[in-house]
Structure 1
């Protein structure tokens, strides 16, 4: 018999790494050497902090390049990176590294930002805490999804893939374990980066409830 789905939540402790960049070359050196948790922080924090706003948020690298160095084309290259395709932070790091190396090799402007507007590299430690909820079937799963915090939803959708390097979100993995492969595939195909987390919650609940009624 398959185990029920145990819901967790998370809290992040942000760390200042003591490293900063004034220009694209220094940004490249930082991206090469910072811990993977730094890459994660600068590409995913916006999703959780601004979960009621419109989708398609910028990553911090793109924002800094565009708004503080005024390198719009380079910033757009960073913004165009589809992070949903990555389940490995090192692959994402390499993509950013390649963009900057290509830019600098073509004599791209290595302009400095104004004093006080440097890019400060931050990272985060994640603390995972169990919640008092376990779902043993689809109806219970949908009911609990209505109750959990945004932090919990975020953890199960994003953390498993990007921080733990597994190929799918926690919900879809559990659904496959109970024989709900079609529903698992449908949830896996959702683009969580292209909608608010509240909209994502509603969409998953609707899909699960529709399946539970069949």
Structure 2
């Protein structure tokens, strides 16, 4: 339980997955067959690449359907279905496919123009050690402003999805008794905000939660000082009384 938490930043290394979509049917076929890592990459790439923007579609599928096929209602439903964290990646895949299954036949025949096909991608996460380490939850709060958005995404979002427990921060906090910090971070992640806002919101929540703890620590520290001073006073008084008693016997 004594091991510290080391922070890394993450960047995706992209490569073609081999699947291409030009309409909703081929998009559906691609979503149904690509690896879970490809699904994950396409539903998270927008908030990671544009961490400060709030009005972009939530994922690549929604963006392509809205822009290339001009189907805004389908785009909106895909954005909602592909929001992480919504469950396992297979649940996200199933939710996306369910949206496409409900599209009317007239819209399924709509095709993208030449050169506007959807290219499915695979991505391998490359990690870089930030050289930042926290020995306990309090130190996590202290170093949080020093992390970049890639580190925030890795430790709060990506690691839990893929079961990479050594990089998952929230379980580490819980295991060390920092339930309040863990819960507030989990609630922030559940709102699926842009990464930059998630970074800021978690830091704000944590700093506020630490105010009460700091006040208690100061009160306890003040009490300890008062007790120590009282003991020192009693010791000096006892020594004086002892000295006076010894002098009287002489």
Please tell me the TM-score bracket, short chain as reference: 0.7 to 0.9
1:152 matched residue in structure 2: 151
Normalization by structure 1: what TM-score?
0.87
When structure 1 is superposed on structure 2, of 74-83 and 26-35 the one drifting more is 74-83
Partner of 1:12: 12
Question: Which structure's CA Rg is the greater one?
Answer: 2
Question: Is residue 2:46 matched to residue 1:30?
Answer: no
Residue correspondences, number: 211
5 Å matches for 1:157-196?
157-164=156-163, 170-191=168-189, 194-196=192-194
In the alignment, what sits opposite 2:247?
none
Q: Which residue of the partner structure matches residue 139 of structure 2?
A: 140
Matches of residues 26-175 of structure 1 in structure 2 within 5 Å?
26-54=26-54, 57-81=57-81, 83-103=83-103, 108-164=107-163, 170-175=168-173
Give the distance between the partners of 2:194 and 2:97, measured in 1 at CA. Answer: 28
CA distance, structure 1, for counterparts of residue 112 and residue 56 of structure 2? 25
CA contact (8 A) 2:156 2:189 kept: no
Question: Contact 1:21–1:30 (CA<8 Å) still a contact in 2?
Answer: yes
Which stretch shows the higher mean deviation, 116-125 or 186-195?
A: 186-195
Give the number of the structure whose residues are more often helix, by fraction.
Answer: 2
When normalised by structure 2's length, the TM-score is 0.75
8 Å CA contact retained: 1:55, 1:195: no
Question: Secondary structure of the equivalent of 1:80?
Answer: helix
Cα RMSD of the aligned pairs, angstroms, is 2.4
Query: Where do 5+ consecutive residues of structure 2 fail to align?
Result: 214-250
Please say which of residues 20-29 and 10-19 is displaced more in the overlay: 10-19
The question of whether the paired residues in 1 share the 8 Å contact of 2:59 and 2:82 is answered with no
Confirm or deny: 8 A CA contact 1:22 1:118 kept in the other structure: yes
Relative contact order, higher structure (CA 8 A, sep 6+): 1
Q: Distance in 2 between matches of 1:92 and 1:80?
A: 10
Unaligned runs of 5+ in 1: none
